[in-house]
Structure formats: structure tokens, C-alpha cells
Structure 1
């Protein structure tokens, strides 16, 4: 277990622990309101060679951090990169330059404060189809925690050789009988031709969640992220906010990134084949110049109670996109189904009446 003397940011006015103020570049004291700027980074955001990473010795299981609070002296264990002391609320940030894990290279600072996150949640609850009417009155989560979540980004050059078929449509005239009358119609057919070729593409910042503690599909749904606004990692942005360390290793993340790249490459191959429609039989892709970095993305994670049951929501801390669980109204769903059945029945009666 790693014992850590965490990074802290004391207030220059009263000595209390300051927090990063979302939407700014300052640390603000929650007690006296004193503000102090976050130090300007002395470097640019960097990409790291994936081959160089693979050549390094791999660490075994990473133990939890043991934080030693400089405020009250309490010792706590946590898997977080940043947290608050549970006894005196001092904001604690781990020294990421030490330890077995890859250090964060960049951070996308929170732009939405707690009030803005609450407004985003309120708007979300009011626009849920088939939600109970009382859900619209839920305006604030029972708990709402600003949390930086680890993500990998990958860059790579790709060259893909493919084989498949190009389909070209043509039409033939077909004769058929309807109600005793002979009629003709145009029917589409497709001629298939063998096709093969090579396509290339450079991928930049293919994003993959580096934590399995939250549903991956829901994290993906929080996209897009304003990655052009990331800044070099600086501990001050984490002060007063929770931050998870990654539990998905870079090599596993790269495989997920390749799956995302494969979908784009498949579309490239189909465009290269041309024609009216395409079939792909095989795609062989080579990767070169693979680089990666660890970036921390801001998410408000909250839960609310409805009908005695907790529901979780997540809010993109920059764009305000909301994803989460919600209750459904059986009454509204039943009424919608009955209305649909009534419409179908009316159309059937109208059709039968016209035929009669």
C-alpha cells in the first residue's frame, strides 16, 4: 500500500482548503471567498509512445492510496486520485508523479458548477417520455458529486487491405396478375463484381473510458467531449473534486479503440469500393505510430429517490448532456398502447369501408 502525503492548496486568506471553481482558472475558498489562480502549465499536452509503454516493466496489482491528511492528521485509504478528508473536509490530491500507474497527462476542467448541473438535471427530468408526472418535480439529486473520470485517448496511423464485392443495381420488367388483370412492374436486381483495394487513415484522440466502475455505454453516451479544451494536468483542477484512477489498462483500452476504428475503416472501404451497394469479406489493418495519453474528464454523478427507489444520473461537466436511470409510468404506457390500437382499428375500418 502506498502511503501518500497529498498535495493540498491552503487559502492565502484564511488558511482553509481551497477548491477549484468550475468554469474558471482559479481556486476559491468556500469560507472567505478568497481566490488564487491555478499555476499556468509549463508544458503542452503530450502523447506517449505505446511501444515504449509496452517495453516497460509491468506492475502487479496496484494497492489503494493511504492518504495522510495534513489538516487533521487522519489516515484514510482510497482508490481515488483526489478526495476530501472525511474528518476535516480538507481537499486531498495524490501525487501522480509517483507510483506504478500511468500519470494523467491532461484534464478537461469542469465548466458546470453545482447549480448548472442541477439545472441540467431539472431539464432532463421534465422531458422524459412516459415518465410519471411527479418526476418533473424532482429538481435536485439526493447526492451530487463532481468527479473526474479517467479516459484513454489513442492516435494511430492505419493501412487496411480489403476484399469484397461491388453491387450495381439494374431493373427488369416483371409481369404479374392482380384482380384478374395482367400488369407490369419494374423490379430491381443487383449485379455483383469482385473488389479489393487499400485505404489509409490517421486517427486522432480515439476516446475510451478507463474505468469499469460505471456503465461504459452510459459514459459513451455523454459524448461529445470538448477535447480541444483539455489543459496539461495540474493538481489544482482536482482540488475539492473526486477523481477516480484508472482500472482499465492501456493495452485493453487500445483493443477497445481499435474496435471503434474498425467501424470507421469499414465505411472507408465501402466508399472505396463504390457502386450502389457493397459487401466486405475481409479487412486486414496494420497500425503504426500508436500513441496514447490519460485524460481526466469531468462528470457530475448523482442519484435521486423516486418511489422509495434510488436512480443514478451522470452529467457531462462541460456540455451538460445528461444520462441516467428513470422510472416509467405504467398508466401513460398503457394509454399510449390503447391509443395506438384505436388508431390502427380506425384505419382498418376505413379501409374495409372503402372496399365495401
Structure 2
């Protein structure tokens, strides 16, 4: 067993932890760095660089991959064997903590996953930075209860990597539609002025439609689709944009100390969503190619080439807090500090604002009547 990492074999899912080279405790990835840090003695040790670049994968490679069964319990959970205390921990994640000694455990994805992560965008914000981002978010919420501003101090953040698929493609699209060009005609109408009927003219806009067709090309790079259903896709979309150019070639060490969610959306299924997102852009290209003042796109036939994909892990801080008997969740993009989430409203503050508005209107009316 090496001095910089420990591995376990079956029974259970193969996993590893990272012992501190100074004191022997378990180190965890330090956000904002390229190092693992010991939470006890503070010693840091660099994440070993790998001699490869992040690369895209063809769907031909995917078709050749065999299905890999999970090493799991009857409930569908992995059974980790902790290299620290030897205990078994059940989890459906790629990285977790031992439930007995809190050792940070990282699975070997190649042993259990059909598609292994190609890249990871490491955590850039630590817990304190995430709290600061949350504090700014809560302070800007109008009509929020005063207690909401205390959440960042009282609650605990949980860091998780969430799986996402990215897709690249070259597209050529043939379209049919119509081009609308504006023109103006003079219209005569009758109106009443000072009790008399008056005839006037005005310019009225019309649209002249003509057939249109053509071909447009577009290259797509890193079209992002969530690979998990554990968090609503529309919520994850609000955390964008992600600095995918900062992605590192995947190494298990980046996961140490954080939860890593397995993908449960297959790449073939996510491709359907990716093509829908590409289609929106392509239709915009078609309208631009048609030109004119208005456009109608009636059909688009798209051919794809150079279609590739990869699995990338993106870092998110999660916070769930209780207020008025309900759970509220907040997420922080752990690279950009973007904060999204649900929050309660203070009925008292809303009522006070409404009363203030009524008083202000009454005061304005009073002043106007005094003139």
C-alpha cells in the first residue's frame, strides 16, 4: 500500500482515500487550489498532474463500451470499504464520507461506470466564500424575512459535484420558410373633429410574404446537458454559464472530501436535449439567413457530423434550511459564485410596503388638490 493513497479491493466497491503525508489523517481537496489539504494539521500536498488533455469521445466509442454492473447492495447502493477503519458505507455516489470515521472515500469510476468522467471543474470557492455569496444574495432579496439574513451563519453548506454531458457537433441545415418585407399604403379614413366629419389619410404598414429557402452551417462546442435527475434541470440551467475552459482532466483526488453524484441520464438520452438546444440556435440562423423584416421558418432538416461527447463534473454548494415549517434549498456555483434558490416572503414587510405605497399616493393626491 502506497504512502500517498490507499486502495481497497472487493468485497465492496473499490475506493481510495488520501492520507496526509505529515500526520497520517485524511486530506481533502482544497477549493481554489491544485492541492489536497489536511483539515487537522493544515499540510498541503499537490494533486499529481496527469500527462493528458481533456478530450472528446465519439459515439462509436460509446457503442463499443460494455455495460458495467454496479457493485451494490440489494437496494441498489454501493458498499464502500473504508481504508481507514475497515467499515462498510452504503452510498450511490462516486465519492462520500465513511459514516463511522468520516474518512473521505472516492470510488474507482472505471470499475462501476459505463462512461467514466473525462473532466472535472474543481471547486473554486470554499465554504467561507460560498457564505459570502449567499450573504450578498439574501441581502438583495426584497420582502425577505429578517431571519433569512442569518441563514449563512447558522446553516451548513454541502459540496457536491454534479455530472453533466457536453456535446460538440458540426451541423448543416436546409430550411424552407417565408420572408416578410414591410411596405406602406395610404389609407383614407373619416373622423370627427369639433363636431364636424373630417376625412384624413394615414400610412398603414403591410407585409409582403415571399418563399425562402437555403442552407446554413453551424459548429457547436460544449452544449451542456445535466446528467442527473436529482436536481431539476431548469434549476441547474440557472447556474450557467460554467467556465468549462477551466476543466481539468479527471482525477479522483479532486473529489476527495466532496459528494459526487453518479449520472442517471444516459448520454444517448441527453443528446436528445442537446439537439433541441442546437435546434433553437439553428432556427435563429435560418431567420437571419432569410433576412427581411419578418421570417417564418416552416421546416428545417439538419445533418450532424463530428458528433462527440464527454462527461464532466461541475461543483455546487448546497444549502437547505428550514423556515415556517418548510424546507428551502439554495445552490451556489462553486466557480462563479452565482446563487439561485427559493426563499420565503415576509407577509409583514409586504403589508408594510403596501401601506406605505397607499400613504404616498394619498399624500400626492392631497398635494395636487391643494394647488
Aligned to 2:12: 3
1:189 aligned to 2:202? no
Q: Is the 8 A contact 2:14 2:111 kept in 1?
A: no
SS for the counterpart of 2:15 is coil
SS for the counterpart of 2:112 is coil
- Please give the per-residue CA displacement for 1:158-181, whole angstroms capped at 9, x wherever unaligned: 111110000001112223334344
Aligned to 2:7: none
1:44 aligned to 2:53? yes
Bigger mean CA offset, 301-310 vs 11-20: 301-310
Aligned to 1:29: 38
> 2: distance between equivalents of 1:140 and 1:211?
29
Unaligned runs of 5+ in 2: 1-9
Aligned to 1:295: 312
> 2: distance between equivalents of 1:335 and 1:32?
52
SS for the counterpart of 2:109 is coil
Q: Structure 1 residue 137: deviation in Å?
A: 3.5
Bigger mean CA offset, 253-262 vs 140-149: 140-149
Alignment of 1:148-187 (within 5 A): 148-180=161-193, 181-187=198-204
1:142 aligned to 2:155? yes
Bigger mean CA offset, 329-338 vs 96-105: 329-338
> 1: distance between equivalents of 2:146 and 2:89?
43
Bigger mean CA offset, 168-177 vs 239-248: 168-177
Alignment length, in residue pairs?
A: 350
- Please give the per-residue CA displacement for 1:230-266, whole angstroms capped at 9, x wherever unaligned: 0000111111111101000000110010011011001
Q: Is the 8 A contact 2:178 2:296 kept in 1?
A: yes
> 1: distance between equivalents of 2:158 and 2:330?
11
Distance 1:51 1:340, change over 3 A: farther
Alignment of 1:234-253 (within 5 A): 234-253=251-270
Q: Is the 8 A contact 1:141 1:303 kept in 2?
A: no
Aligned to 1:319: 336
SS for the counterpart of 1:143 is coil
Q: Structure 1 residue 336: deviation in Å?
A: 5.8
> 1: distance between equivalents of 2:52 and 2:322?
45
Q: Structure 1 residue 2: deviation in Å?
A: 7.9
Alignment of 1:1-356 (within 5 A): 3-58=12-67, 63-140=76-153, 142-180=155-193, 181-333=198-350
Q: Is the 8 A contact 1:146 1:299 kept in 2?
A: yes
TM-score relative to the length of structure 2? 0.88
> 1: distance between equivalents of 2:215 and 2:83?
59
TM-score relative to the length of structure 1? 0.91
Q: Is the 8 A contact 1:51 1:290 kept in 2?
A: no
Q: Structure 1 residue 76: deviation in Å?
A: 1.4
Aligned to 2:3: none
Bigger mean CA offset, 170-179 vs 42-51: 170-179
Q: Is the 8 A contact 1:2 1:64 kept in 2?
A: no
Unaligned runs of 5+ in 1: none
